[in-house]
Chain A
């Protein structure tokens, strides 16, 4: 066990994969530049040009060539610099990677890992500040993971390498320097399983990626006000671990779903829908949905911060919800 950064944990996972001679990395500026977020710094010198391939700016063929390369038996791990640029490759990801196994009647596997970076909050403007992971989580045939901790970043990537399906990995740029305890060994974290980061009795906070850390901070604030919040990290956005979510709902009867993405552009609404369909009678109050403002992200710093959920907003939502309980009783 060691306390390392999310970035370092990902580097460890990539090194583990690169032990397989069939594995190689492909993406823009991953080699000579050292990676846009320094994830692959030094890898070119260590592994060489054939295994750390700097590509032209051609997102569609980066993904498409990844699909073809796995068909030929190689194991590329492809990187798209930010999730905003994956839109160039929307066709390759959704029409091709996600569907080839199905369209071939199960005869062709596409074990392709597609790594990218999501997130907002650094005044990068509307075209560089989207959380699009939810779009990919709506595609049957794709698996989508969004690690929030260093251990999960390493463990989910390792599981993705074992997986015979295309796995879309949404790392978060604000988490790269976040530290956490990570096993030295290549311990897998299962895809498709959420995690209870903190147990609680009064309300369930469901989230993923950076917002999970926001929920943890909100839970600290709530604890000072004698509100016991349970914090759940989805970890995998597709397939969803509904079983774990419903078990929590059964316990706390109150749910707040928190996501960074602009409201309506990710899977928060779908999760809420599924919960109410299965657990309506377990709920004391309507589920509350805290998400980003439904706007393209503004450049102005104050406006941008107002457009993204923060610790206070999440804590206030829980306080209001619990206050509502007392109002109903009277």
Chain B
């Protein structure tokens, strides 16, 4: 891993963090409506995993998708504009926070139905296999999704047909307000893969390097015809499930215990201790990200809204 790549990891995680902070702020101002699910605390998952992909590999994800979109290369301007519901948004203002699509970067949604992206990500792997392309489909989902039938159907099919899929579970310990040990008879999610003869690992989702290494191995396996892998990344969202969440199902004490594991803090310390960068250099990168995020807000504010004609036109493809 070279220096540029290490710094890119840092920059992307900081971009996601500051973008999400700003989105929360704009939501409070009424600029963003509906549901807003912030990725704060989970940055190492999106950044570590997506950097293990090639640009033309595919990603599908769930409704906590801003981090995945930014890590995949979607423009912060267009993502913020989508949150604002503007015509310049990645989905033309028709999708919103939970339905980000960037076809140029092969980010294929953004789904609000828990587990909904999993069969689709599996199918992208099927399409890749049909067309004999050396590509991979990475599909993100949370700990709540693993009890949906579609999770099981998808793992079975991907294993049976040796599809080039990486199943990436972001286990942040809570499905909305339900703790993992209250929902799952076997809370170690990686164990489910055994039922489908799929190799699996549980990793530290707060360590971007660990995420990168595990995903790279899985991506290489998929690309070389070795079939799917299940990665369970233990992570934590510092904020609630969404902006509407009063977070009564976990303690402030637990949240404080996770603070020192902040993926950005950990990685910053690592970069400095490895002499990859200095505090000053990283502070400068932080300021550059501030400017990017501020620009995205201005872009979103200044953008036009979609029209009624746009709405009727988008129901069917021409």
Pairwise interchain contact A92-B126, C-beta atoms closer than 8 A: no
Contacts of A58 in B (CB 8 A): 153, 156-157
Contacts of A109 in B (CB 8 A): 317
Interface status of A63 (Cβ within 8 A of chain B): yes
Contacts of B118 in A (CB 8 A): 64
In angstroms, Cα B218 to Cα A229, docked, is: 65
Smallest CB-CB separation from A64: which chain B residue?
B119
Query: Contact check: which of A55, A95, A105 meets B89 at CB < 8 Å?
Result: A105
A103 in contact with B99 given A74-B126, A91-B113 (CB within 8 Å): yes
In angstroms, Cα B156 to Cα A105, docked, is: 32
Interface string of B159-183 (1 = CB under 8 A from A): 0110000000000000000000000
Which of A55, A64, A140 has the most B CB atoms < 10 Å from its CB? A64
In angstroms, Cα B316 to Cα A143, docked, is: 9
Interface status of A300 (Cβ within 8 A of chain B): no
Contacts of B141 in A (CB 8 A): none
Smallest CB-CB separation from A141: which chain B residue?
B315
Pairwise interchain contact A102-B110, C-beta atoms closer than 8 A: no
Query: Contact check: which of B60, B113, B124, B135 meets A69 at CB < 8 Å?
Result: B124
Interface string of B79-119 (1 = CB under 8 A from A): 00000000001111111000101010000111101001011
Pairwise interchain contact B95-A22, C-beta atoms closer than 8 A: no
Smallest CB-CB separation from A95: which chain B residue?
B113
In angstroms, Cα B137 to Cα A108, docked, is: 17
Pairwise interchain contact A60-B95, C-beta atoms closer than 8 A: no
Interface string of A224-268 (1 = CB under 8 A from B): 000000000000000000000000000000000000000000000
Pairwise interchain contact A24-B101, C-beta atoms closer than 8 A: no
Number of chain A residues whose Cβ lies closer than 8 Å to a Cβ of chain B:
44
Contacts of B121 in A (CB 8 A): 68
Query: Contact check: which of B90, B130, B157, B314 meets A22 at CB < 8 Å?
Result: B130
Interface status of A41 (Cβ within 8 A of chain B): no
Interface status of A71 (Cβ within 8 A of chain B): yes
Size bracket of the B interface = 35 or more
Query: Contact check: which of A53, A76, A100, A105 meets B93 at CB < 8 Å?
Result: A105
Interface status of A179 (Cβ within 8 A of chain B): no
Query: Contact check: which of B94, B95, B113, B122 meets A96 at CB < 8 Å?
Result: B113
Contacts of A143 in B (CB 8 A): 316
A61 in contact with B317 given A105-B95, A107-B101 (CB within 8 Å): no
Pairwise interchain contact A106-B313, C-beta atoms closer than 8 A: yes
Interface string of A105-135 (1 = CB under 8 A from B): 1111111000000000000000000000000
Pairwise interchain contact B94-A102, C-beta atoms closer than 8 A: yes
Contacts of B317 in A (CB 8 A): 101, 106, 109-111, 163-165
Contacts of A96 in B (CB 8 A): 111, 113, 116, 120
Pairwise interchain contact A68-B95, C-beta atoms closer than 8 A: no
Pairwise interchain contact A71-B110, C-beta atoms closer than 8 A: no
Interface status of B58 (Cβ within 8 A of chain A): yes
Name the distance in Å between B5's Cβ and chain A's nearest Cβ.
27
Which of B58, B133, B157 has the most A CB atoms < 10 Å from its CB? B157
Smallest CB-CB separation from A70: which chain B residue?
B127
- Tell me the chain A residues, 37-75 only, with Cβ under 8 Å from chain B: 50, 53, 55-56, 58, 60-61, 63-74
Pairwise interchain contact B109-A104, C-beta atoms closer than 8 A: yes
Interface status of B123 (Cβ within 8 A of chain A): yes
Query: Contact check: which of A60, A76, A165 meets B316 at CB < 8 Å?
Result: A165
- Tell me the chain B residues, 284-318 only, with Cβ under 8 Å from chain A: 306, 310, 313-318
Which of B113, B124, B313 has the most A CB atoms < 10 Å from its CB? B124
Pairwise interchain contact A67-B103, C-beta atoms closer than 8 A: no
In angstroms, Cα B161 to Cα A60, docked, is: 16
Smallest CB-CB separation from A60: which chain B residue?
B150
Sample of 19 A–B contacts (CB below 8 Å): A56-B157, A58-B153, A61-B123, A64-B118, A65-B119, A65-B157, A69-B124, A71-B58, A72-B126, A72-B131, A72-B133, A74-B126, A76-B127, A92-B150, A101-B315, A103-B110, A105-B89, A163-B317, A165-B317
B residues whose Cβ falls under 8 Å from a Cβ of A: 58, 60, 89-95, 99, 101, 103, 108-111, 113, 116, 118-128, 130-131, 133, 135, 137, 149-150, 153-154, 156-157, 160-161, 306, 310, 313-318
Given A61-B157, A70-B123, A72-B124, 9 more pairs with CB closer than 8 A: A58-B157, A60-B149, A68-B119, A68-B137, A69-B130, A73-B127, A76-B130, A101-B315, A106-B92
